[in-house]
Amino acid sequence: MWQSNLYQLNNTPFPLSALSDFYPSTKHITDKARRLEQEGRIIRLKKGLYVRSVEDGAEPVAELVANHLYGPSYVSMQSALRHYGLIPERVYATQSLTIKHSRSFDTPLGRYDYYSCGVNYFPIGVSQHQENGMQFLIATPEKALCDLLVKTRNLVFVSTDMLLDYLENDLRFDTEALKTMDVEILRQCCENVTTRQHNIAKLIKLVENEQ
């Protein structure tokens, strides 16, 4: 019976209380969770949060896990750019922005990094993406670039040429995408960000030049 119940959860992370609902007669649900984990049926992401494993027929989705692991949050920066196919390199950690404090989590599924931002900046350029029946929050390409330029340490651009060089040679970013970017999203980000506004201003100018 438990298999069919867990199957209903699909790839969505779930709290320990979900197992309590599936096993109402079980007195020690943490022991039950530990046994399911040892059997390879579920994966413990952090205290009280789990997801079905590949061995149980599920393929955990990194973006969906990121949304549930620490929220409110949305996937962004290199992780989002890689998701859209705008950069070729694999990303070491799944990167997200949050209105909470910055944090990092090391899980059996990989590392998840969260960068804090202001409440007014947070919702700009965030979309609900659907993939294989799963829905998760992810930055648009415009917002992902802005987040990257704001949250990457020691990143300062004094000219659009310098920024373009960074995009082409450091990120290996598909600069053709600049031609179709929504400048309004970039402007909203620039108006509501609290740090490194100059970097986004350079990006706006670069995009306008490309278009």
Using the predicted structure, report yes or no on whether residue 25 has a pLDDT greater than 70. Answer: no
d(CA 126, CA 144): 9
Q: In terms of residue numbers, what domain contains 41? A: 10-19+27-54
Same domain, 31 and 86: no
Both 45 and 104 in a single domain?
no
In a domain, 5, yes or no: no
The residue assigned the tokens 């979900």 is: 18
Residue 139: inside a domain, yes or no?
yes
Q: Give the pLDDT of residue 11.
A: 83
User: What are the C-alpha distances in Å from 144 to residues 12, 48, 125?
Assistant: 24, 30, 8
Indicate if 97 and 134 belong to the same structural domain.
yes
Q: What is the pTM of this model?
A: 0.90
What is the helix, strand, coil percentage profile of the chain, to 5? 45, 20, 35
Q: Which two tokens stand for residue 67?
A: 């949304």
pLDDT number for residue 139: 98
Same domain, residue pair 98 and 164: yes
- As for how many domains the chain has, the answer is 2
The packing angle between helices 141-151 and 183-192, to 10°, is 30
Same domain, 166 and 104: yes
Asked if the model's pLDDT at residue 23 lies above 70, the reply is no
Surface-to-core class of residue 103, CB atoms within 10 Å of its CB (0-12 exposed, 13-18 middle, 19+ buried):
middle
Identify whether 4 is part of a domain.
no
Give the per-residue pLDDT at 17. Answer: 83
Residue 108: CB partners within 8 Å, gap ≥ 6? 43, 44, 45
One domain, residues 32 and 78: no
Please check whether residue 200 lies inside any domain of the structure. Answer: yes
Distance (Å, rounded) from C-alpha 59 to C-alpha 178?
Answer: 33
pLDDT for 24: 63
pLDDT digits (tens, 9 = 90+) for 78-90: 999 999 999 998 8
* Same domain (yes/no): 44, 97: no
Whether the pLDDT of residue 1 is over 70: the answer is no
